[in-house]
Amino acid sequence: MPTWNQIQQQLRHPNNPVVFFDITVGQTEIGRMIMELYADVTPKTSENFRQFCTGEYRKDGVPIGYKGACFHRVIKDFMIQGGDFVRGDGTGTQSIYGPSFPDENFILKHDGPGLLSL
């Protein structure tokens, strides 16, 4: 696993938050997925994702977020889709701002592997 200094050296922007998912398949631990959130470009979207990663967001005092969520769509050599902790199939929506919130912008493009889409 990389050290924090190694992670910081790879960041797009030094003040962007970094979050992670610990991935398991069945009962087998696969590893940790570390993600930089581009808060310098999409601050509201990044904060929404960050709070669901950390469990900070609570509904009726209960943490709501990605812990225990699954990847509901996997396309080999292309992408994985997940994070729907409402319905588990990609149709459930939830945000820290209410039922939904508007897209901030479309500045960033998927131009290589390893990019996170929110």
Domain coordinates in residue numbering, the chain: 14-106
How confident is the model at residue 6, as a pLDDT? 85
Higher pLDDT, 109 or 46: 46
Q: Rounded mean pLDDT of the chain? A: 90
How confident is the model at residue 100, as a pLDDT? 84
Classify 85 in phi/psi space as left (phi over 0), alpha (psi -120 to 50) or beta: alpha
CA 68 to CA 83: how far, in whole Å?
Answer: 9
The neighbour count for residue 50, using CB atoms within 10 Å, is: 20
The neighbour count for residue 12, using CB atoms within 10 Å, is: 11
pTM: 0.86
Per residue in 12-31, pLDDT (tens digit) is: 888 999 999 999 999 999 99
Per residue in 27-84, pLDDT (tens digit) is: 999 999 999 999 999 999 999 999 999 999 998 999 999 998 999 999 999 989 998 8
Measure CA 81 to chain center.
10
64, 57 Cβ separation under 8 angstroms: yes
User: Given this structure, which CATH class describes domain 14-106?
Assistant: mainly beta
CA torsion through residues 116, 1, 68, 44, sign: negative
